[in-house]
Amino acid sequence: MSEEKNNEIKNDENGEKTEVSGKVSVLENMRRINEKQRQEELEAEAEREKERAEKERRERERYEKKLEHDRIELMKLKQGIISEEDIPREAEPVKEYTVWEKIGNFFYHNKMPLIVGVVIVLLAVFLIRDVVTNKRPDAAIMIMASDSELDFRTGDIEKLLEPYCEDFNGDGEVYVRVSYLPAVYSDDNLDAYFNQSAQTKLMAEFQSGDSIIVIADAETCHTVGIDNVSENGNPVDPILVDMRTIYPDDENSTELGYMLSGTSFAEDIKYTAMSDSLFIGFRVPREALGVNMEKFTANYNNALKLWDNYLNKTEAVHDENVKYHSEQK
């Protein structure tokens, strides 16, 4: 009897039959809740759409009224009824910018001065760092001969010659800088970037009065035009000092330099297969644009003193606090 009661049928308000259950399942209850929420969302969306439409209508009416007003004012202005000063100006709203918008606006309107300023600052920092951190050598050697083995022995050459070099610049450290800057390359050398970089630096060194000593051979000197003979065979002002005027009674002295084969240089740097054609030469001080002749001459005399000490195996006398650069690496 109770089962029949729980499943009885009744007519709803629309005349449709609806089953009334004394118990509602959980799934049925969730379905009803979801339907109710969906109905509410649809009604809310419809309300928002109605508000948007109303707002657009008001904006359109306001815009149309403004156009009509401007048209009337323009007609009056053309007819001379009113002057341009009589037309009311609509005050533009003042926009409030956020902090990040203000910063972005500043950079946008000042980007070129800022870029120029940054470049100047970076250049200044680089120059200051270069002056502060770069060690000033007491003597500088350029290896112009194309011998890659010498490139690996620049540290050995530095270590060999520093005991014979004085602390000419007085900075408390003896530094003989040795740079491998070959002036001529073979065709099979594929490192084009290094070649160009080395030759550019070599040209810069020759335009200064810092690097006095060169290690080269006659072929290299002739190729780069520093063998004291012009292309037509006429003598020119010497680039390298004639070592026969420095050591007139020494058979190792030549017009371009002092032959290293007549010394223990190869053995000292443990390169016994070094070419016998190599010599050490010294640039003659000469006037050039931007060159300090006093400094050039002093570097020249210091370089000759270094070489003379090496030939005679006379180590330079140093203060006990003076250190060798090669030992600080």
Residue 282 to residue 219: CA distance in whole angstroms: 17
Instruction: Report the pLDDT value the prediction gives residue 14, as an integer from 0 to 100.
Output: 42
Instruction: Report the pLDDT value the prediction gives residue 24, as an integer from 0 to 100.
Output: 53
Under a CB-based contact definition with an 8 Å cutoff, are residues 146 and 187 in contact?
A: no
Under a CB-based contact definition with an 8 Å cutoff, are residues 247 and 282 in contact?
A: no
What DSSP assignment string belongs to 279-321? EEEEBPP---TT--HHHHHHHHHHHHHHHHHHHTT-PPP--TT
Instruction: Report the pLDDT value the prediction gives residue 92, as an integer from 0 to 100.
Output: 60
- Residues 222-246 pLDDT 10s: 887 777 655 555 556 788 999 999 9
Distances (CA, A) of 329 to 146, 211, 245, 326: 26, 21, 38, 6
Beta-bridged to residue 323, according to DSSP, are 173
46, two tokens: 């419809």
Instruction: Report the pLDDT value the prediction gives residue 106, as an integer from 0 to 100.
Output: 74
User: What is the CB-side half-sphere exposure of residue 82 using CA atoms within 13 A?
Assistant: 12
Query: What pTM value is reported for the model?
Result: 0.58
Instruction: Report the pLDDT value the prediction gives residue 315, as an integer from 0 to 100.
Output: 92
Residue 59 to residue 306: CA distance in whole angstroms: 92
Under a CB-based contact definition with an 8 Å cutoff, are residues 299 and 209 in contact?
A: yes
Residue 302 to residue 307: CA distance in whole angstroms: 9
Q: Which residues of 275-313 are buried (b: 16+ CB within 10 A; e: fewer)?
A: eeebbbbbbbbeeeeeeeeeebebbbebbbbbbebbbee
Q: Which residues of 185-201 are buried (b: 16+ CB within 10 A; e: fewer)?
A: beeeeeeeeeeeebbee
Instruction: Report the pLDDT value the prediction gives residue 167, as an integer from 0 to 100.
Output: 92
Residue 283 to residue 144: CA distance in whole angstroms: 13
What DSSP assignment string belongs to 38-102? HHHHHHHHHHHHHHHHHHHHHHHHHHHHHHHHHHHHHHHHHHTSS-GGGSPPPPPPPPPPPHHHH
120, two tokens: 């100047």
Residue 234 to residue 239: CA distance in whole angstroms: 14
Residue 301 to residue 168: CA distance in whole angstroms: 11
Share of the chain above pLDDT 70, in %: 75
Instruction: Report the pLDDT value the prediction gives residue 11, as an integer from 0 to 100.
Output: 44
Distances (CA, A) of 171 to 151, 157, 268: 27, 21, 27
The one-digit pLDDT tens for each residue of the chain (329 residues) are 444 444 444 444 444 444 444 455 666 777 788 888 888 888 888 888 888 888 888 888 888 888 887 777 777 776 666 555 655 565 566 667 677 777 777 777 777 887 888 888 887 776 666 555 567 899 999 998 888 899 999 999 999 999 999 999 888 999 999 989 887 765 545 555 556 666 677 777 777 778 899 999 988 888 877 776 555 555 567 889 999 999 999 999 999 999 999 999 999 999 989 999 999 999 998 887 777 889 999 999 999 999 999 999 999 988 888 898 888 76
